[in-house]
Structure 1
Amino acid sequence: MKVAKATQKPGQTKEQTKLIAQGIQKGIEEYKKRHKQKARALDKEKNKLQKKNAQQDQANTDIPVEEVTTQVEIKQSMLAWGLLGLSWLGFIAYVVQLGGF
């Protein structure tokens, strides 16, 4: 009713203002109804995705964990050795540049 009175034009009757207020109220209720429907649909979709992901996780647990950790360890080991070799090459280049050897 406050919104209807705020937008009331000069010469407008109380009945017209009431009708406008009812229309505004109806519009708000319709908006809330649609918003709830959208939220419900999004929740359903989210639940479907969660169930699908849970099923995929169960299917993926068939892979042995040992194989995965071994591959990670090998990559980390190669990285460590590569960095060590690179640092030694840099040290040797530095010493040679200074004329130490």
Structure 2
Amino acid sequence: MTKDYYQKPSPQTQEEALKIAKSIQRPAQTKEQTKLIAQGIQQGIDLYKRQQKEKARELNKQRKKLAKQKEQIIEQDDQEDQSVIIYQPHWLPWSLLIITWLVIGIYYTLVK
């Protein structure tokens, strides 16, 4: 019950392989030999396409992995930035301001 996962080559690939085989055909070469050469070229094209698909898949996996890592880093930075900062103003500037206004008020009331 083994399944054959081999996909049949597309008609474009078959035509392309046949064109290449005919273009390199020798004068004493038979049609059967040309067909065998075309099959070999076709297998090479299929192998090349499979390799390119695998490379594309691997690059896609790496791209997704890097994107996830960047998201995690951004989330960690956001969590650090969300820490609560409680700002309590210092009492000295406010007390100096109040004292200054009191002194100015007393000065104006005494002078007038």
Gaps in structure 1 of 5+ consecutive residues: 65-101
* Greater per-residue helix proportion: 1
Structure possessing the higher radius of gyration over alpha carbons = 2
Deviations 1:26-78 (A, max 9, x none): 000000001000100110011010000000001111226xxxxxxxxxxxxxx
CA distance in 2, matches of 1:40, 1:2: 30
The one-letter code matched in structure 2 to 1:59 is Q
TM-score (structure 1 length as normaliser): 0.61
Let me know the Cα RMSD of the aligned residues.
0.9
**Number of the residue aligned with 1:63:** 81
Residue number in structure 1 paired with 2:68? 51
> What is the aligned-residue identity percentage?
52
Matched, 1:17 2:34: yes
Runs of 4+ with >2 A deviation = none
Unaligned 5+ residue runs, structure 2? 1-17, 83-112
Distance in 1, Cα, partners of 2:75 & 2:44: 47
**TM-score normalised by structure 2 residue count:** 0.55
